[in-house]
Amino acid sequence: MPNIKSTLSIFLVFLSFYSFSQTEDVYSSLFVPEELKTKANAVVRYVTRQIIINDYDDMVIRRKRIVTVYNKEGVRHAKAYEHYSEDTKIKNIEIKVFDSTGEEIKKIRKKDFTDASAVNGGTLYSDNRVLYYDYTPLNFPFTIEFKSEVHHESTSYLPHWMPIDGYYLSVQFSELKIENNLGEELRFKEQNFDDLNIEKVSKYHFKAEKLASIEYEAYSPKLSLIAPRLSYALDKFMINGVEGRNGDWKNQGKWMYEKMLKDKLVLSEQTKELAVNLVKGVKNPIEKAQLIYNYVQQNTRYISVQEGIGGMQPIDALTVDEVKYGDCKGLSNYTKALLAHVGVESYYTRLFASSKLQDVDKDFVSFQGQTNHVILAIPNNNDYIWLECTSQTNPFGFTAGFTDDRDVLVVKPEGGEIVHTKVYEADDSVQKTTAEIALDITGSFIADVNIITTGYQYNLHQGIENETDRDQQLHYKEYWDNINDITIDDITIVNDKEQVVYNESIKLSSTNYASKSGNRFILQPNMFNKVTQIPPRYPERKLGFKIDRSFKDADEFMIQIPEGFKIEAMTEGKELNTKFGTYKFKLETLEDNKIKYTRTYILNKGNYQKEDYKAFRDFRKKIVKNDKTKIVLIKV
């Protein structure tokens, strides 16, 4: 007996030592563990999220979130709001606020919340709504407790569990409990749990304790890819009253095609005739696709309307044809319908579009957070051509900067397939700048500059041709902000969409570019393509970093020295070779008092370790320094 007792008491001690129970302490900022205060705008004191799945169309999520907020930046970490829509009802919602000693100072009931529409920037209309309360903090720190109960009729999107759901936010205690009353098991995927104090208490119960905050660092991948995250999904689900299937990507894609897409492709007889006429006499399917894509670009525009199941299902082709607008789903589906009618196969493709690269997770089938955009895939030999149907200006098949280099889900009638989109290598994304510069005896110059860009760099430049004259002039003055007092004399831009080459020719002049010092002129020969920014310095870099895209810059500037001057001093050049890329510049004297400056800078995409950051910064530091190289001219 005594033996058992002592074991039990040891067990109890163990429990109370290691397991955290919610006591009054979490309402007072005085009891925040010291180590969680560093680099934290707020501390999650206690979070519990309970998910009760009663049926495929009956799920309840109860949240309780207690957060201590240290400053203005930390206020948003309270996350004291709930979204709702047609198939989501908020049953309870409540906020309590506590001062630093844990004394309750305010209580906010459901009726005090603001009920507002949750339409985001690019959307014209959506039936998504939000209940929130705009709390003005009286003093810092304070602690806020948020409680809610929300009933869902859809089980397609199950929210990730991300205990650290913001930068500069540490976590004292956070847990997820799932009560699954279905015959079916949930699937799980854990990411970035390594070495962290996260415990899988049971199959459906996860617990995190004492997680340090994550500080934002330049060039790091987005937070959701580096912070601990638990994804979970059901193989069978309901979405707005429609039954769905996940299984593997093939199955989900098949379900999607059958239930969401197949019936949306009908066109009017008139439009069918129009499509046939558009491609009259053309045999090659890619040429046909070009003609159809061009028609869609010239005749539609992007307008986003999200109602009911419209979050997942496209508006039918007939409607888009009538109003000539739609969102990414509607416009892609419409283009697909037109293509299908002229015998060109294409596939509705779901993906996560953003300037940063993000894959559809090929190992975990779900909806939550996987995609935010739709494009079209046209099979071409063993590859695909990708069409961005929301853009009225994109060249045919151009994806750089938004949908390139990532795993996407191609939805075929026979099922879904994960495919990687086009990668733009350094030689695909080139910027070539050439210039003829004539310097005069006052240090002023006139120059003819030509910039030719392709690939990702095309994407960075294109669009200037549509600006007003005034704004084009401003653009080039900002682009060359290293030159004081520029006058732009002429701008000619040719956007060759067929070859995807952007060609800018600018005539400009500037007074006193070369700075005078006695009878000398000092000037920087790299006038038109300078790197001036060094990535920020971190005394101790904590996160790895990522360069999303490779590119190549090639520059050649011919500088005519004014009569009566000669070169007193200049360096010959410099070459840098690193794993992040290469840099080289060269200065040569030519006949007729000319200087030729040539420069190449290549940056390599890749995932790099945090230990490499200093070397990366050094590389850029040296480029900045070398881009400032000087030539000294002296009066003869």
Partner 1 sequence: MKHLFFIIITVVSLNQVISQNFKFGKVSKEELQEKFHPIDSSASAAVLYRHESISFYFTESDGFMQQREIHERIKVYNKDGFDWATKKEYLYQGSSRFEENMSGLKGVTFNYVDGKIIKDKLSSEGKFNEDYNEYTKINSFTMPNIKEGSVIEYKYKITTGSLGIDDIIFQYRIPINKLDVKIATPEYYVYKKQMNLKASYYPKIKESAKNLTVPFKYIVNIISAEETDVPALRAEAYAGNINNYRSKMALELSAILNTYKVVEKSFSSSWEEVTKTIYKSDNFGGQLSRSNFYKDDINTLLSSVTDDFQKAFLVENLVKSKVKWNGNYSKYTQKGIRSAYKEGVGNVADINLLVTSMLRSQGIKAYPVLISTRNNGIPLFPTREGFNYVICMVKKGESYMLIDATEPFSTNNVLPERVLNWRGRVITEDGNSQWINIMSQAKSLESTRLNVKINDDFSVSGKVSKSLNSYSALRYRNKYALTTEEDHIKALESDKGDLEIAELNFENKKDITEPVKVSYEYELSDGVDEVGDKLYFSPLLFLALKENPFKLEERQYPIDFIMPYEDKYLINIMLPEGYNVESLPENEIMEFKDGDAKFQYILRENGRYLQLKVNLDINNPIIGSLDYKVFKSFFSSLVEKQAEQIVLTKA
- On whether the CB atoms of residues 423 and 485 are closer than 8 A, the answer is no
| 121 makes contact with partner 1 (CB under 8 A) | no
- The three-state secondary structure class of 362 is coil
- On whether the CB atoms of residues 207 and 175 are closer than 8 A, the answer is yes
Considering only residues 424 through 483, tell me which ones interact with partner 1, judged by CB under 8 A: 466-470, 473-474, 477-478, 481-482
Strand ranges inside 127-235, DSSP E: 129-132, 142-152, 169-180, 187-191, 198-202, 205-211, 229-233
Q: Quote the least distance from Cβ 587 to partner 1, whole Å.
A: 11
| 318 makes contact with partner 1 (CB under 8 A) | no
List b or e across 514-524, with b for residues whose CB sees 16 or more CB atoms inside 10 angstroms: beeeeeebebb
Q: Quote the least distance from Cβ 142 to partner 1, whole Å.
A: 11
**Contact with partner 1 (CB under 8 A) among 3, 490, 536, 592:** 536
| 534 makes contact with partner 1 (CB under 8 A) | yes
Strand ranges inside 381-444, DSSP E: 383-387, 407-412, 415-420, 430-439
| 532 makes contact with partner 1 (CB under 8 A) | yes
| 355 makes contact with partner 1 (CB under 8 A) | no
What radius of gyration, in Å, describes the C-alpha atoms of the chain?
30
Site string for partner 1, 63-92 (x = CB under 8 A): --------xx--------------------
Nearer to partner 1, 117 or 589 (CB): 117
Site string for partner 1, 381-420 (x = CB under 8 A): -----------xx---------------------------
Nearest to 246 by CA among 258, 180, 255, 261: 255
Contact segment (CB under 8 A) with partner 1 among 334-342, 427-435, 446-454, 533-541 equals 533-541
CA distances from 220 to 57, 92, 384, 503, 622 (A): 39, 38, 30, 33, 22
Q: Quote the least distance from Cβ 267 to partner 1, whole Å.
A: 16
**Contact with partner 1 (CB under 8 A) among 533, 563, 611, 636:** 533
Using CA atoms, how far apart are residues 340 and 77, in angstroms rounded to an integer? 48
What residues contact residue 271 under an 8 Å CB cut-off, 6+ apart? 321, 338
**Contact with partner 1 (CB under 8 A) among 19, 117, 181, 577:** 117
Which two three-digit tokens encode residue 289? 């696709």
Q: Quote the least distance from Cβ 487 to partner 1, whole Å.
A: 8
Query: What is the DSSP annotation of 298-313?
Result: HH-EE-EEE-GGGGTS
**Contact with partner 1 (CB under 8 A) among 92, 268, 299, 492:** 299
Considering only residues 42 through 61, tell me which ones interact with partner 1, judged by CB under 8 A: none
Q: Quote the least distance from Cβ 532 to partner 1, whole Å.
A: 7
| 325 makes contact with partner 1 (CB under 8 A) | yes
| 624 makes contact with partner 1 (CB under 8 A) | yes
Q: How many CB atoms lie within 10 A of CB 378?
A: 25
Q: Quote the least distance from Cβ 107 to partner 1, whole Å.
A: 12
What residues contact residue 418 under an 8 Å CB cut-off, 6+ apart? 249, 360, 362, 407, 408, 409, 410
**Contact with partner 1 (CB under 8 A) among 91, 324, 362, 635:** 324
Q: Please count the residues of this chain forming the interface with partner 1, following the rule CB under 8 A.
A: 68
Whose structure tokens read 């302490």?
25
**Contact with partner 1 (CB under 8 A) among 8, 13, 30, 138:** 138
| 30 makes contact with partner 1 (CB under 8 A) | no
Q: Quote the least distance from Cβ 476 to partner 1, whole Å.
A: 10
Site string for partner 1, 148-187 (x = CB under 8 A): ----------------------------------------
Site string for partner 1, 509-528 (x = CB under 8 A): --xx--xxxx-x-x------
| 632 makes contact with partner 1 (CB under 8 A) | yes
Nearer to partner 1, 123 or 503 (CB): 123
Q: Quote the least distance from Cβ 473 to partner 1, whole Å.
A: 7
Using CA atoms, how far apart are residues 583 and 602, in angstroms rounded to an integer? 6
| 108 makes contact with partner 1 (CB under 8 A) | no
Site string for partner 1, 181-220 (x = CB under 8 A): ----------------------------------------
Nearest to 368 by CA among 166, 177, 231: 231
Considering only residues 480 through 499, tell me which ones interact with partner 1, judged by CB under 8 A: 481-482, 484-486
CA distances from 584 to 436, 450, 453 (A): 20, 20, 19
Whose structure tokens read 């009253």?
241
Whose structure tokens read 């010092």?
517
Q: How many residues does the structure list for the chain? A: 636
Residue 233 is which amino acid? A
Q: How many helices (H) and strands (E) does the chain have?
A: 10, 38
Edge-to-edge strand ranges of the sheet holding 383-387: 383-387, 373-380, 347-351, 407-412, 415-420
**Contact with partner 1 (CB under 8 A) among 25, 359, 425, 568:** 568
| 625 makes contact with partner 1 (CB under 8 A) | yes
Which residues are at the interface with partner 1 (CB under 8 A)? 39, 71-72, 106, 114-117, 119, 124-125, 134, 136-139, 298-299, 301, 303, 305, 319, 322-325, 392-393, 466-470, 473-474, 477-478, 481-482, 484-486, 511-512, 515-518, 520, 522, 532-534, 536-537, 539, 568-571, 621, 624-625, 628-632
